[in-house]
Amino acid sequence: MTDHEQPTAVEVEDLEKIYPGTGGRGGKHALKGVSLTIPSGSIFGLLGPNGAGKSTLINILAGLVLKSGGHARVWGIDIDKAPRAARAAIGVVPQELSLDPYFPARAALELQAGLFGIPKAARRTDELLEVLGLADKATAPARSLSGGMRRRLMVGKALVHNPPVLVLDEPTAGVDVALRQQLWDYVRLLNRRGTTILLTTHYLQEAEALCDRIAILADGQIAANDTTSALLRGIEDQELLVDVASPLASLPEVLRAFEPHLATPRRLVFRYAQNGDSVGRILDALRSAELRITGITTRQPDFEEVFLNLVRRRSS
């Protein structure tokens, strides 16, 4: 790596985490050999159902949970060999709002900077308040701030030490649509200014709109890891919707090999592989069946369908 190249934001190799059991019960294998690379400068989505291992992975990177095996580096720093330096390279905004209700915004940021050992002359408190749109609330106690302002203040706390990697854990959970869009805009701004973003979310629309790449965790393992566009393209099942003029009591024999679904007496739904020649063969079969077709449309799955399909594959 040259002096001008940035290190990889996050690298994990064969990461394992086993939580010991209690009361005679077996433990939980939360991470099962997870390997993942997050490029610097990206907005990277980490998705998965509840219990998939997302929080465990984040907490290991942040130094809050000890891994059971494997290796992890943040900004090129091994979390075992240099744990303090690795923690200084990452900021985490948890889903839960953890603010002292009586602490003013400025005081909350000053305290956080002090915990990181940042000298007063090097602190960026007023700069962060300004960029977060909280300059006019600097002396206001946290309890007087709106939900959106409190969440922005949490982002400020994660940024006081100027980390190159920022983790946003469900940043828009429970917020309204307008605030969600505002937070999206701010995430894009941070990214344009050079911060690598690791985003966990249950809102698939959020991941699709923001993320360059997405990894999907299911049952402690990586079910998929690719660019957002490739994940959307790569799903095998596409749909061909065929409307016919006369109601069908049963499927014509020539169509049964394609296993279509008779959605209504006048609509056939075929599933086909996007990259194959299935559509041509289906159309040939329809002509052989001598059906009078009134309409043909295709439908691509949305991101939620891709996600659920990949999770089902991993779980099966």
pTM of the model: 0.75
Q: CATH number for the 236-300 domain, one of 3.40.50.10860, 3.30.70.1150, 3.30.360.10, 1.10.150.170?
A: 3.30.70.1150
For 115-151, letters b (16+ CB in 10 Å) and e give eeebeeeebbbeebbebbebeebeeebbeebeebbbb
Question: What is the residue-averaged pLDDT of the chain?
Answer: 87
Between 304 and 11, residue with greater pLDDT: 11
- Give CATH 3.30.70.1150 domain extents, the chain: 236-300
Q: What is the layout of strands, in order, in the sheet containing 10-19?
A: 28-38, 10-19, 69-74, 77-78
- What does the pLDDT read at residue 39? 95
Note the pLDDT tens digit of each residue in 4-38. Answer: 567 899 999 999 999 987 765 668 899 999 999 99
Contact 123, 156 (CB under 8 A): no
- What does the pLDDT read at residue 125? 95
Average pLDDT over residues 144-165: 90
Cα–Cα dist 235/230, whole Å:
9
Average pLDDT over residues 295-315: 70
Note the pLDDT tens digit of each residue in 103-123. Answer: 999 999 999 999 999 999 999
The yes-or-no verdict on residue 272 having pLDDT over 90 is: no
DSSP 104: B
- What does the pLDDT read at residue 17? 96
- What does the pLDDT read at residue 303? 63
Residue 292 Rama label (left phi>0; alpha psi -120 to 50; beta): beta
The yes-or-no verdict on residue 306 having pLDDT over 70 is: no
What DSSP letter does each residue of 71-83 carry, written as one string?
A: EEEETTEETTTSH
Question: Which of 49-63, 96-110, 136-150, 296-310 shows the lowest mean pLDDT across its residues?
Answer: 296-310
Domain covering 10-89+163-232 in this structure, CATH number:
3.40.50.300
Q: Give Cα 43 to chain centroid, integer Å.
A: 9
The yes-or-no verdict on residue 2 having pLDDT over 50 is: no
Cα–Cα dist 128/159, whole Å:
8
Average pLDDT over residues 262-286: 83
The length of the chain in residues reads 316
Question: Which of 72-81, 207-216, 250-259, 302-311 shows the lowest mean pLDDT across its residues?
Answer: 302-311
Residue of 70, 60, 77, 79 lying closest to 8 (CA atoms): 77
- What does the pLDDT read at residue 202? 76
Between 175 and 29, residue with greater pLDDT: 29
Average pLDDT over residues 262-288: 83
- What does the pLDDT read at residue 197? 96
The yes-or-no verdict on residue 305 having pLDDT over 70 is: no
Average pLDDT over residues 128-136: 89
- What does the pLDDT read at residue 312? 67
- What does the pLDDT read at residue 314? 58
- Residues 6 or more apart in contact with residue 268 via CB below 8 angstroms: 241, 242, 244, 248, 251, 255, 260, 261, 262
Cα–Cα dist 72/171, whole Å:
24
Note the pLDDT tens digit of each residue in 244-269. Answer: 999 998 899 999 988 888 989 999 98
- Give CATH 3.40.50.300 domain extents, the chain: 10-89+163-232
Note the pLDDT tens digit of each residue in 216-236. Answer: 988 899 988 999 888 776 555
